[in-house]
Amino acid sequence: MAPKAALSIAVLSAVLFGAGSASAEPLSGADLVRELSGNTLTGFNGSLWFSEYHAPDGRVLGNNGGRQNQDSCWKVRGDAVCYYYPSTRPGGESQRTEFCWHLERVGSDGYKVTLVGRSAGGIARLEPGSRGHTDNGRAWVCDALISRRGTGHAEARLSAASSP
């Protein structure tokens, strides 16, 4: 990891979690819906920076790992928030990749994030509103995408009708 990235992570951690020891409070599904819907979660997980607006209709607007979200969605399942991102396989076959995360509140607007079924995790901060994230006039619907979900960390095929 580059020294600048390591320093950025250290600064973000200090801002989110403060210098003292903060206890992490697991969030229920109802908490996740209430806190995420209509707001932006910005942070770092593994090697990816992200900033994603959680639209109340289930769309995710913003960026993840430096890539603009297009046709991405979110949904709370149990006590985890799941994200559905498009991907293309060799040969042009469309897939939907799913990632589900547990969030634990640390402080008033900080979160520890952990990938369901894995020890991988990161940190994030909740910011009010969309923070300027937009669909650039290209709206999409998430119902068909989310109905083809897998479990935890999986991929689900898209039908040709729901492919972009």
What tens digit of pLDDT does each residue of 84-133 get? 988 755 666 667 788 899 999 998 889 999 999 988 789 999 999 999 99
Q: Where are the domains of the chain?
A: 23-159
**Would you place residue 152 in the very low, low, confident or very high pLDDT band (cuts 50, 70, 90)?**
very low
Q: Give the separation between CA 158 and CA 164, rounded to whole angstroms.
A: 10
Place of tokens 């498009």: 86
**Would you place residue 153 in the very low, low, confident or very high pLDDT band (cuts 50, 70, 90)?**
very low
- The more confident residue out of 107 and 12 is 107
* Structural contact between residues 121 and 113, judged by C-beta atoms closer than 8 angstroms: yes
- The more confident residue out of 6 and 127 is 127
Please, which residues have CB within 8 angstroms of residue 27's CB and are 6 or more apart in sequence? 35, 79, 102, 103, 104, 105
Query: Quick one: pLDDT at residue 156?
Result: 30
Question: HEC states along the chain?
Answer: CCHHHHHHHHHHHHHHHCCCCCCCEECCHHHHHHHHCCEEEEEEECCEEEEEEECCCCEEEEEECCEECCCCEEEEECCEEEEEEEEECCCCCEEEEEEEEEEEEECCCEEEEEECCCCCEEEEEEEECCCCCCCCCCCCCCHHHHHCCCCCEEEEECCHHHCC
Q: Give the separation between CA 32 and CA 28, rounded to whole angstroms.
A: 6
Residue 164 has pLDDT above 70, yes or no: no
Q: pTM, whole model, 2 decimals?
A: 0.74
Query: Quick one: pLDDT at residue 67?
Result: 84
The upper half-sphere exposure of residue 80, i.e. CA atoms within 13 Å in the direction of its Cβ, equals 17
Q: Give the separation between CA 82 and CA 117, rounded to whole angstroms.
A: 13
Query: Quick one: pLDDT at residue 145?
Result: 55
Overall average pLDDT of the 152-158 stretch: 32
What tens digit of pLDDT does each residue of 30-52 get? 999 999 999 999 999 887 899 99
Q: What share of the chain has pLDDT > 90, as a percent?
A: 45
